[in-house]
Structure 1
């Protein structure tokens, strides 16, 4: 989930109690300058609407403004939805705005922002371009305690900076783990999964747990609880490896190489053997569960197509908030037709031997100080406030995110599961090439990936080998790259001109 909907989803999960708010005010009100002088703190955010910033304020600043009456908050959005929807009234495809370019304008323009809130994938570029102020000296100077921060958060931020320094902090994060059905493992006499397993070890377990035929089949695992297209699942598996589909200069495809060959052989084998369900497998499962009521109407299953809750897959990859959905389902088990409650737990997301301990960690609310900030002191005071122990206690009531401070990370509502599985993996390092930027600048570039979807299915169906599929993808993709290269030259000699006919956006295809 990206952009505006990610932010709205987080807002829907935020709840602040009056009692905790009072405690926060008491603990933090002395942190800033309480003089009568009114000052403006300008905060830059990636996405939003200038004419409707209430959801951003509720998420980040209402409490700070209440405890700092002399500070007025102003927001600026890199991508302003309230304005951009009027940019293309005829619905014509056109080059998408460069979010990073808009982000840098907020930091370097005539009226630069003081604080910037951004996603992890921009951190490396912001530090390389010297646009963020290093926070380590400020942390030391004010004795700001971050000793109880989740190591994966601090280490992930330092790793992306390139010089092992902190240029941002975040009060919350999210991550994925491997959920497993303990009942299935027990019935099969197979040992439970453990933390720090490799993908190959998990796939071996998945094969042992797969059994049955047609609509009654039990699958070893899914890459998400709903099941999905195999090629899309492959992006989850391959993302930590940093494999590229084309070279940085967009001159040739790089898919017909050993790294991709191994990925394709592994993934297509899981679908061929029905260890992971194909689209056809899922259709059979849903059809077998499509039961009629006595009056002839069809029973509406509140679980929907969730294969893990339906008891049709032994393991699945899920984010932290999925634990709450499982609990809700188990609490209402008696109301669900033909539902069989089961025991479950989680372990760390599997990783590749080449990238041990690297999984899906989402640091989407990073807060940094603009190196050109006109009001750097208040910017630091705001970051301290929103990353304080008291603020973390407030955020710990959010079922959708984890607080960055370990003290408040614990299962809620009587649940007992391995919650450390969500805090023990490292984020995927940022790639050296901004693939999303390439796709924005050259809208036709998405066409170079299109052949892979069908070719993947043909390998699964046995009509092509992996070698044949990757060779064909390479040939067809190279043709697209050549067409892009031969497009009318841009004013700058040697540069490629983005295709004028549109045809896609950065969100059109999953990018590994």
Structure 2
């Protein structure tokens, strides 16, 4: 959830060993195989599109999701087509800039060009929503109904994420998701004589717990809460904290900011107070050192609560086995669902759906394309992928704690994810140069932490300076670049 997420797009399709013994899983799959045999062994080509491709990465991509299918379907040859060719220096520069609209145009070309791909693998749901709006994907509901592929075992929140923008149809499938929850240190709460957090709490209650459990000074300070175990950025924390409330930053029609409001003042005051009172650790607190084995304050027993993804479970388990510090080895933790707001009950979680597979509206081999998609998202494939990736399966029957451990696994998918913000979508795709106006708020937020301004005063100043800059951006849009900015919400 940091402003500058370090996510290497050159390796977004991480290889996983899927085994060589998958059997045909559905009647449609068998029918496709029989049809190929009846056709005198005629070979068929399935074109699969990915956002990034390179000669060095192809073997990993094939191992991840095509090798097994080709082995069990000897008459099908799979061609990988990349929207961005990382072996081309011009394309590589585009990938490095992370120009999302330009990347999307390249992805569109894969699906609508003279030789459209049959299947496209999408790195996140933002592309899925946009492609459905542009009618570039085929709805899967008729194909699922014809083949008996049901979603009854899928987690409801996951199914919602597979639908199109404002459309009840399902347009993609995935086997796994990355969920987020609130980790807490049982011992720190017991030592403070404070009851630990529980599922379904509201944000004001969790922040009060954080203040009660924080104690100590200097290098022995025990912090109550952190939005992220590796970063400390109050401005971005305020954006993420307020995301479930769907507060607006900009009025695009009037080209003005919309931050001088009581709602924004509340969000800024809540988060700035946590930093000012050292309830949350500062960046210097999280840089490591201080005799710690590493800079992870939660792992080192100095942080009572932290938001983290399910992949953190593996790290905590490994630390218990391999850490030299006895305190780390004995860390007693559990998780609860993320807090929500009374104004948006039950909303506030994160269910990051990645590696989604969809069929192009112009697919030339829709039957084989569907066979490939359902094969890769079968129950068995979901089980294999969840074991090797650290992510959770989307099927309820397969959801279970890692390695026989006992923890509150349901916390990772208890809440509905923060819905996509219309403003965020607009700024990502159609007005990708407003980041400079947003960045004006960062030093002002620090002024609130330092006590130089009240939240209301800082937001009023941001409103004024932001309005002026937005008008300048409107007059000269090419002079301003959005870069890679995160607009708020929880990461997986």
- TM-score of the two chains, using structure 2 as the length reference: 0.88
Contact 2:85/2:92 (<8 A) preserved: no
Q: Which residue of 1 aligns with 2:357?
A: 367
Aligned pairs for 1:95-114 within 5 A? 98-114=102-118
Contact 1:177/1:422 (<8 A) preserved: yes
Alpha-carbon RMSD across the aligned residues, in angstroms, is: 2.7
Secondary structure in structure 2 of the residue aligned to 1:232: helix
Secondary structure in structure 2 of the residue aligned to 1:173: strand
Q: Which residue of 1 aligns with 2:393?
A: 403
1:155–1:277 Cα change, 3 Å: same
Displacement after TM superposition at 1:256 (Å): 1.7
Displacement after TM superposition at 1:6 (Å): 5.4
Displacement after TM superposition at 1:461 (Å): 0.7
Contact 1:50/1:80 (<8 A) preserved: no
Contact 1:449/1:477 (<8 A) preserved: yes
Question: Is residue 2:88 matched to residue 1:83?
Answer: yes
Q: Which residue of 1 aligns with 2:483?
A: 506
Displacement after TM superposition at 1:185 (Å): 1.7
Provide the C-alpha distance between the structure 1 equivalents of 2:118 and 2:449, rounded to a whole number of angstroms: 52
Provide the C-alpha distance between the structure 2 equivalents of 1:219 and 1:193, rounded to a whole number of angstroms: 15
Q: Which residue of 2 aligns with 1:215?
A: 219
Provide the C-alpha distance between the structure 2 equivalents of 1:391 and 1:2, rounded to a whole number of angstroms: 29
Aligned pairs for 1:12-91 within 5 A? 14-16=16-18, 18=19, 21-22=20-21, 24-25=22-23, 27=25, 30=30, 32-34=32-34, 35=36, 36-49=41-54, 52-85=57-90
Q: Which residue of 2 aligns with 1:415?
A: 405
Displacement after TM superposition at 1:70 (Å): 1.2
Provide the C-alpha distance between the structure 2 equivalents of 1:77 and 1:217, rounded to a whole number of angstroms: 50
Displacement after TM superposition at 1:389 (Å): 1.1
Question: Is residue 2:461 matched to residue 1:462?
Answer: no
2:370 corresponds to which of 371, 380, 405? 380
Aligned pairs for 1:162-173 within 5 A? 162-173=166-177
1:120 corresponds to which of 122, 125, 139? 125
Q: Which residue of 2 aligns with 1:182?
A: 186
Q: Which residue of 2 aligns with 1:191?
A: 195
Provide the C-alpha distance between the structure 2 equivalents of 1:15 and 1:308, rounded to a whole number of angstroms: 32
Q: Which residue of 1 aligns with 2:162?
A: 157
1:51–1:411 Cα change, 3 Å: closer
Secondary structure in structure 1 of the residue aligned to 2:120: strand
Provide the C-alpha distance between the structure 2 equivalents of 1:102 and 1:2, rounded to a whole number of angstroms: 22
Question: Is residue 2:249 matched to residue 1:245?
Answer: yes
Displacement after TM superposition at 1:77 (Å): 2.2
Contact 1:439/1:446 (<8 A) preserved: no
1:330 corresponds to which of 309, 320, 329? 320
Q: Deviations over 1:224-245 (max 9, x none)?
A: 1124111122232123333332
Displacement after TM superposition at 1:324 (Å): 0.9
Q: How many residues align?
A: 474
Q: Deviations over 1:34-55 (max 9, x none)?
A: 4212111112222333664222
Question: Is residue 2:472 matched to residue 1:483?
Answer: yes
1:235 corresponds to which of 235, 239, 261? 239
1:96–1:344 Cα change, 3 Å: closer
Q: Deviations over 1:83-134 (max 9, x none)?
A: 2546769x99897752222222222111111112222112332222222211
Contact 1:161/1:167 (<8 A) preserved: no
1:403–1:263 Cα change, 3 Å: same
Provide the C-alpha distance between the structure 1 equivalents of 2:321 and 2:31, rounded to a whole number of angstroms: 43
Q: Deviations over 1:200-249 (max 9, x none)?
A: 22112111111112221111111111241111222321233333322234
Provide the C-alpha distance between the structure 2 equivalents of 1:410 and 1:306, rounded to a whole number of angstroms: 26
Displacement after TM superposition at 1:345 (Å): 0.6
1:398–1:6 Cα change, 3 Å: farther
Provide the C-alpha distance between the structure 2 equivalents of 1:371 and 1:267, rounded to a whole number of angstroms: 45
Question: Is residue 2:271 matched to residue 1:267?
Answer: yes
Provide the C-alpha distance between the structure 2 equivalents of 1:57 and 1:191, rounded to a whole number of angstroms: 49
Q: Which residue of 1 aligns with 2:208?
A: 204
Question: Runs of 5+ in structure 1 lacking a partner?
Answer: 291-300, 488-497
Displacement after TM superposition at 1:469 (Å): 0.9
Contact 1:50/1:77 (<8 A) preserved: no
Displacement after TM superposition at 1:323 (Å): 0.6
Contact 1:227/1:277 (<8 A) preserved: no
Provide the C-alpha distance between the structure 2 equivalents of 1:394 and 1:282, rounded to a whole number of angstroms: 35
Secondary structure in structure 1 of the residue aligned to 2:178: strand
Provide the C-alpha distance between the structure 1 equivalents of 2:379 and 2:91, rounded to a whole number of angstroms: 42
Question: Is residue 2:6 matched to residue 1:8?
Answer: no
Q: Which moved more, 1:143-152 or 1:455-464?
A: 143-152
Displacement after TM superposition at 1:438 (Å): 4.3
Displacement after TM superposition at 1:370 (Å): 1.2
Provide the C-alpha distance between the structure 2 equivalents of 1:468 and 1:169, rounded to a whole number of angstroms: 47
Q: Which residue of 2 aligns with 1:296?
A: none
1:74–1:427 Cα change, 3 Å: farther
Provide the C-alpha distance between the structure 1 equivalents of 2:89 and 2:266, rounded to a whole number of angstroms: 42
Q: Which residue of 2 aligns with 1:295?
A: none
1:471 corresponds to which of 452, 460, 477? 460
Secondary structure in structure 1 of the residue aligned to 2:372: helix
Contact 2:111/2:117 (<8 A) preserved: yes
Displacement after TM superposition at 1:312 (Å): 0.8
